[in-house]
Amino acid sequence: MLIILADELDITVSGLLGETVAEPTTDDLKTLSEKLEVINLQLAKRSTAKLKTIRWILISLCAAIVIIFIALAFMNSSYLDWNYEDLELAMAGTIMHGFEFLFVRIAPIVFLISVAGIVVTYKKR
């Protein structure tokens, strides 16, 4: 009912109730605009930093995979020649063989996914 009465009297409801509402001025809008611009710049910087962090993690992962592959190649499965009658050597050899077995099968897939992630993070927006 207040809305209809305010329309008929050509006044706002808050004016009808005796409250004054300040109309936004151009200075208020300019201040608000500047604050929004600062917030947008901060969000852009945060997004860029996050992207760089992800990129460096992926590059580090690729480097670690390459280093481990080189180490395994130089080792040339030398643990296969160990004396497996010794329980400690048998356990260490089994663990190394298991690691090598899984690493050689999983690492290439992880490497390719990491390289794809690096390419995607370098893509221009």
> What residue ranges do the domains of the chain occupy?
49-122
pLDDT score of 116 more than 70? yes
Predicted confidence at residue 26, as pLDDT, reads 66
**In terms of residues, how long is the chain?**
125
Distance (Å, rounded) from C-alpha 96 to C-alpha 83? 14
Predicted confidence at residue 93, as pLDDT, reads 87
CB within 8 Å of 84: residues ≥ 6 apart: 90, 93
Tokens of 76: 């040339």
Mean pLDDT of the chain: 87
Residue 100, Cβ density class (10 Å: 0-12 exposed, 13-18 middle, ≥19 buried): middle
Tokens of 58: 């992926």
Distance (Å, rounded) from C-alpha 13 to C-alpha 81? 92
Predicted confidence at residue 24, as pLDDT, reads 60
Predicted confidence at residue 123, as pLDDT, reads 76
DSSP 8-state secondary structure symbol assigned to residue 82:
S
24-73 pLDDT, tens per residue?
666 777 888 889 999 999 999 999 999 999 999 999 999 999 999 999 88
**Cβ 65 vs Cβ 102: under 8 Å:** no
73-112 pLDDT, tens per residue?
888 888 778 788 888 888 988 898 899 999 999 999 999 9
Percent of all residues in the chain with a pLDDT value above 90, rounded to a whole number: 46
